Structure 1
Amino acid sequence: MTTSYDCTAAEQRAAGLEHAQRAIREHKCVVFPTDTVYGIAADAFSPVAVTLLLASKGRSRKMPPPVLIPRLNALDGLATDVPAEARRLAEAFWPGGLTLILHAQPSLDWDLGETRGTVALRIPADDVAQDLLTITGPLAVSSANRTGQPAAQTAAEAEAQLAESVEVYLEDGHRPLEGSEALPSTIIDATATPLRVVRQGAISLERLREVVPGLLDVDGNTAPEADTEVPDRDTAGSGEPAGTA
């Protein structure tokens, strides 16, 4: 049975987080706010739960969800061969609207879809999201909408699309603030060097290049002032997880 909680009220927020934790443990889906838009989440280590998440969105395994984590020290537990430049970006922009595509730890027992050995990681800058991730651990998360439809900016909008495929809806008002443009996270492919933006979003290229000057844009170009030769890249091992929250 689907239940919605008003997280602007302390008692409902506590009850909603407890119910959401239980739902995740039972391999069900929940909807909650992030700093970009609302997300639909499932246990990242449960193939059954991830399959339900993809089915709820009407998405195939060819579009695997990214994983939201509660803190920076979870990075090395889920990813391997993390470039120093990617680590600097994480330290500068997490929590926040930055998703990093990295090589997944090969020892992990999970199945997010056809990831080709990669995982997309992010820490959201949202109190409700942080509280949920702290009690559940890493979650597979995608924007809370049916594929091809607008991303939900409230839990009510998400419920109108996802209905009873979700066990718990955590409502906490508009994300982002009402009247603001709903920008997805900026996605960077950090599986090869130089690092490259594969989707522009909440964090501008200019801000990113303040930390990593040699970062390539979505067209594979360096900053105008850079004259370093850019090597050819093999991008077969990475891809944009579309519809990320």
Structure 2
Amino acid sequence: MNLIDCKSALKRLDSGLPVIFQTDTLPAIGCLPRFSKIIYEFKNRDRNKPLILMGSEHKQLIDYVHESAKEDYENIAAKYWPGALTMVIPCSKRQSEILTSSDFTIGLRIPNSCTAQSLMKETGPLLTSSANISGSTGSITAEGIALDFPSVDILGPVPWEKGSGKASTIISWENNRNWRLIRQGEVLIKELN
């Protein structure tokens, strides 16, 4: 297992390599948005499955949100972030080059994790996925993940702060104040219609 600190993680990410880090839910594999193909390669992930853009605070992600959804984004973000909630929302045309979806939406999340937030304060937003080989459950410990991804550096220190081990709740913006549940996780959203 190759443990690295935040400074080394910045160098790896800048060079186009992914880094594995803990979040408040499951460990994540992340990369800078311009290198999104690397996540698909390491995970053997279907290219039709989009990645999630994580940030350290909701203002860091606001430029990725289309004008039509900004007010609803701000309202939900203020109530539920940081936390185990992913919002799928129309993407701003100015940021569409980072899209990994085919429908011009983007999944956004701010994890309630000091480790993840500290990393993304330095790197900016990261495109992420859970740190497992696609189709397998994977491990929730750094040691177990290192077996699946022996060539990917892991952000220390370990042991990591404890995550919930559950995936985030995912909601999708439909239109003005109208959200649809995609996946129920530990966060219950009152605003769902």
TM-score, length-normalised on structure 2? 0.90
1:27 matched residue in structure 2: 16
Corresponding position: 1:184 with 2:167: yes
One-letter code aligned to 2:60? A
Bigger radius of gyration among the two: 1
2:91 matched residue in structure 1: 104
State the shift of 1:118 in Å.
0.7
One-letter code aligned to 1:4? L
State the shift of 1:175 in Å.
5.9
* Aligned partners of 1:98 and 1:186 also within 8 Å: yes
State the shift of 1:94 in Å.
0.5
Show structure 2 runs of 5+ residues with no match. none
Q: 1:174 to 1:19 in 2, by over 3 A?
A: closer
One-letter code aligned to 2:63? G
Consecutive aligned runs of 4 or more in structure 1 exceeding 4 Å deviation: none
1:57 matched residue in structure 2: 43
State the shift of 1:93 in Å.
1.0
Q: How does 1:77-96 map to 2 (within 5 A)?
A: 77-80=63-66, 81-82=68-69, 84-96=71-83
Could you tell me the percent identity over the aligned residues?
Answer: 26
The equivalent position to 1:137 in structure 2, one of 124, 140, 145, is 124
Q: 1:174 to 1:20 in 2, by over 3 A?
A: closer
Corresponding position: 1:201 with 2:185: yes
Q: Which of the pair has the greater relative contact order for Cα pairs under 8 Å at 6+ separation?
A: 2
SS at 2:89 equivalent: strand
Q: Following the alignment from structure 1 to structure 2, what is the Cα–Cα distance between the partners of residues 26 and 109?
A: 22
Q: Following the alignment from structure 1 to structure 2, what is the Cα–Cα distance between the partners of residues 122 and 32?
A: 15
* Aligned partners of 2:10 and 2:123 also within 8 Å: yes
State the shift of 1:185 in Å.
0.6
One-letter code aligned to 1:37? L
Kindly report the root-mean-square deviation, in angstroms, between the aligned alpha carbons of the 2 structures: 1.8
State the shift of 1:74 in Å.
2.1
Corresponding position: 1:114 with 2:101: yes
Q: Following the alignment from structure 2 to structure 1, what is the Cα–Cα distance between the partners of residues 161 and 140?
A: 5
Q: 1:108 to 1:90 in 2, by over 3 A?
A: same
* Aligned partners of 1:104 and 1:117 also within 8 Å: yes
SS at 1:28 equivalent: coil
TM-score, length-normalised on structure 1? 0.72
How many aligned residue pairs are there? 190
